[in-house]
Amino acid sequence: LFGMFFANIGKRFDYNNYGSLAGLGLLVSAIASLLQYPMIVMASRGDDKIVNAASAIAMANTGLPYCWWLWYREHYQNNETIKE
């Protein structure tokens, strides 16, 4: 998992700001894992629908923009290499 994370950071964003981006990714991951504990408590008390909705919203807000950006970047790069 960590190997894929660090390789993806270098491949997607180049190595100019590799340390900063890897550190930011690890920080976001640490904050997300700290939020798991209150969510587990909420789910065990019967608020599982709220936890699921919050998780879905968080994934949509963070995952979808990255997927769109990645698609655009790869599509743009493929078109540039075809033209050359």
Q: Is the pLDDT score of 84 beyond 80?
A: no
Cβ 22 vs Cβ 6: under 8 Å: yes
How confident is the model over 9-64, as pLDDT tens digits? 888 888 898 999 999 999 988 998 998 899 999 999 999 999 999 999 988 998 89
pTM exceeding 0.75: no
pLDDT of residue 80: 65
pLDDT for the residue 45: 94
Helices 2-13 and 18-44: crossing angle in degrees, nearest 10, is 130
pLDDT over 70, % of the chain: 92
